[in-house]
Amino acid sequence: MLRPYLLLLTITFLTIGSSCRKSEPKPKEETRKYLFVGHTYAGTNLIDHRIIPHLSRTLYDQFWLGGDMCSETTADSLTLEYLDGLFDLGSPKTHWTLGNHDIRNGNLQWITKKTKRPTFYSANFNGICLLVLNTNFGHGGYDTLAVNAQYEKVKKVCDTLQAVSHLIVLSHHVCWARVAGLDSAQVAANANGAWLKWRFNPQEYFEDAIYPLLLQVKNKGINVINLAGDFGQESTEYYQQSPDGIHFIGSGITSDIPWNTQFQTHGLEDKILIFEHNLETQALHWYFEVL
């Protein structure tokens, strides 16, 4: 049995010792960064050299490609080898919505062989559903079966989606420019194709066939973002929100090549688009960064 003075000394020591302990540091919130680049071509088989320093998995967890990677992406199979070396096209962390410059030479099989995916699909990660569209049906012949299959894919995703914080719809062309409330969208894109019926089944415009499905998702409490890559020659960045609260973002660059000298953005600052995703709060922020 401890004597009274020893007991008092022991209690004093324990009290002092506990007060001197350092408090546990608060765990650092886990974040992910995603890089989006579009309209990147600087030649028939080259991308703009300014992008290459950004292509590190230590900087970005995912690469989202907005199409028109090279001006003649499928003219030579070696171009796919080059792009694969830069972006690791078959990685589940690389997603590519095809541009017209990517497929106008045919040889689509070179792309799907490298990506190991069809030209439209969905992917789920970190509480996000990414829906990748093909807005280029009609190049080299109209494939009714593929068009119908894409619409059914979009419908199935929107009908069944749950337990995610964001739906991001990735496209090359600005097929959504006719959505009510999107002022100036038609002049922001390089080649705005919103006047075309984008061959979703039934053959309707995006705002008639697809937008109601996105509203259905928004009404579930899921944030909806449409992201297009055919920008740069008219505008390097674009953002608006529809009156329904759905987001529309455009990003692309204008490389310093002779063809681009005719456009109003030539010589101005080019920008890339970066997303920062807080995995704890599920907050997703984006910003444009000068190349």
Local confidence band at 103 (pLDDT 50, 70, 90 cut-offs): very high
pLDDT tens-digit readout, 274-283: 999 999 999 9
Q: Is a pLDDT exceeding 90 seen at residue 123?
A: yes
- In the beta sheet, which residues pair with residue 247? 225, 241
Three-state SS at 109 = helix
Local confidence band at 76 (pLDDT 50, 70, 90 cut-offs): very high
Q: Is a pLDDT exceeding 70 seen at residue 28?
A: no
Local confidence band at 145 (pLDDT 50, 70, 90 cut-offs): confident
- Provide CB contacts within 8 A for 32, sequence distance 6+: 61, 62, 126, 276, 277, 279
Average pLDDT, the chain: 85
In the chain, what are the domains? Answer: 34-290 (3.60.21.10)
- Provide CB contacts within 8 A for 173, sequence distance 6+: 99, 100, 135, 136, 189, 191, 192, 193, 198, 228, 230
Three-state SS at 54 = helix
Residue by residue, DSSP assigns 179-192 as STT-TTHHHHSSS-
Two structure tokens written together for 283: 């907050």
H or E element at residue 288: strand 284-290
Q: What value, to the nearest 5°, has the Cα angle with vertex 248 and ends 184 and 230? A: 75
Give the least confident one: 77-86, 123-132, 264-273. Answer: 264-273
pLDDT of residue 216: 96
pLDDT tens-digit readout, 151-202: 899 999 999 999 999 999 999 988 888 888 887 656 577 776 666 666 565 5
Q: Is a pLDDT exceeding 70 seen at residue 21?
A: no
pLDDT tens-digit readout, 218-259: 999 999 999 999 988 878 889 999 999 999 999 999 887 877
Local confidence band at 46 (pLDDT 50, 70, 90 cut-offs): very high
Two structure tokens written together for 3: 């004597």
Q: Is a pLDDT exceeding 70 seen at residue 203?
A: no
Dist CA 238 CA 250 (whole Å): 5
Tell me the pTM. 0.85
pLDDT of residue 91: 96
Mean pLDDT of 212-223: 96
Mean pLDDT of 5-25: 43
Two structure tokens written together for 286: 């984006």
138: left (phi over 0), alpha (psi -120 to 50) or beta: left
Mean pLDDT of 91-97: 97
Residue predicted with more confidence, 232 or 9: 232
